[in-house]
């Protein structure tokens, strides 16, 4: 009996195999996958198993341990969550615009989007600075552990529905609507893209190469770490934050018990003495 390709069921992810992938992504990225994420891991890896002609998740794990780094990066890309959108949690950008940027009248200024995913946060920051920063000497740096997301961010090319959260004035000034074969998409203007640099980076590793920053956005990433990893990652980032600089986490996150090296200005916004 012949079975349609789309009816072939993926192999079952066994408990001991799931444990292997939990340990893999924790060691690689510091991400703590709860047991409730078993279905997510199975779903995200199933297509890759089919592409490689593998019959079990255990076989895929053996391949990860025996292959070059390209497949390791593929697995990290598949197992990391990359949910973001333009002007997410807008109070943070209001704080930047009203409390921080008015003081940036001179000198080189830098902001780090430390878990930049597909680039929406970094480009949002660039729009706000282009519109409101009194000095033109500024730079945005975005980093992410997913190489696929970094490449997506560098392109600055998005589906048009992603533009729904961009205020009209920013949309008109910094985005180009696609036509013809690019219908239904938009592109961040080249002049703005040139102010944003994206790099592939693991927040668990040495980050000194990125230099010093005036503001660090570390939003919606701490929730994936256990306390030990949170403390390690935040300590590394704070070494790259200038005295008097700000580190901003998501509204659902806190640096309480994570570090005593900063003081809270408003909930989710902290300042380094």
| Overall average pLDDT of the 62-90 stretch | 86
- Of 44, 97, 162, 177, the active-site residue reads 44
pLDDT at 7: 47
Which token pair is 202?
Answer: 């693991």
For residue 216, the SS3 value is: strand
| Overall average pLDDT of the 15-23 stretch | 94
- Of 77, 110, 144, 219, the active-site residue reads 144
Q: Going from the N-terminus, what domains does the chain have, and what CATH number goes with each?
A: 9-79 (1.10.155.10), 91-271 (3.40.50.150)
Q: What is the number of alpha carbons within 13 Å of residue 188 lying toward its C-beta?
A: 27
Is residue 144 annotated as a catalytic residue, yes or no? Answer: yes
Percent of the residues in the chain that have a pLDDT greater than 70, as a whole number: 95
pLDDT at 93: 98
* Residues near 169 by beta carbon (within 8 Å), at least 6 away in sequence: 131
How far is Cα of residue 83 from the mean position of the Cα atoms in its chain? 8
> What is the average pLDDT value for the chain, to the nearest integer?
93
Q: What pTM, to 2 d.p., does this model score?
A: 0.88
Q: What's phi and psi for 17, nearest 5 deg?
A: -70, -40
Least confident of 64-73, 89-98, 190-199, 251-260: 64-73
């Amino acid at each position: 009996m012949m079975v349609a390709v789309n009816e072939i069921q993926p192999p079952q992810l066994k408990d001991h195999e799931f444990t292997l992938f939990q340990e893999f992504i924790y060691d690689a990225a510091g991400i703590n996958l709860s047991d409730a994420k078993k279905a997510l891991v199975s779903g995200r890896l199933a297509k890759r198993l089919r592409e490689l002609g593998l019959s079990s998740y255990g076989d895929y794990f053996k391949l990860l341990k025996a292959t070059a780094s390209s497949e390791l990066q593929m697995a990290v890309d598949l197992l990391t969550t990359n949910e973001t959108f333009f002007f997410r949690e807008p109070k943070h950008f209001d704080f930047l615009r009203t409390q921080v940027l008015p003081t940036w009248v001179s000198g080189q200024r830098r902001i780090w989007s430390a878990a930049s995913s597909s680039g929406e946060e970094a480009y949002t920051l660039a729009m706000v600075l282009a519109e409101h920063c009194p000095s033109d000497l500024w730079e945005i740096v975005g980093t992410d552990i997913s190489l696929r997301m970094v490449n997506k961010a560098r392109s600055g090319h998005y589906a048009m529905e992603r533009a729904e959260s961009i205020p009209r004035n920013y949309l008109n000034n910094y985005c180009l609507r696609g036509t013809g074969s690019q219908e239904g998409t938009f592109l961040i203007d080249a002049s703005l893209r040139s102010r944003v640099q994206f790099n592939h980076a693991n927040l668990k590793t040495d980050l000194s190469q990125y230099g010093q920053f005036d503001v660090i956005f570390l939003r919606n990433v701490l929730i994936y770490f256990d306390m030990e990893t949170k403390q390690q990652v935040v300590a590394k980032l704070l070494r790259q934050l200038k005295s008097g600089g700000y580190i901003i986490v998501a509204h659902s996150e806190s640096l309480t018990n994570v570090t005593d090296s900063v003081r809270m200005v408003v909930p989710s916004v902290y300042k380094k003495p």
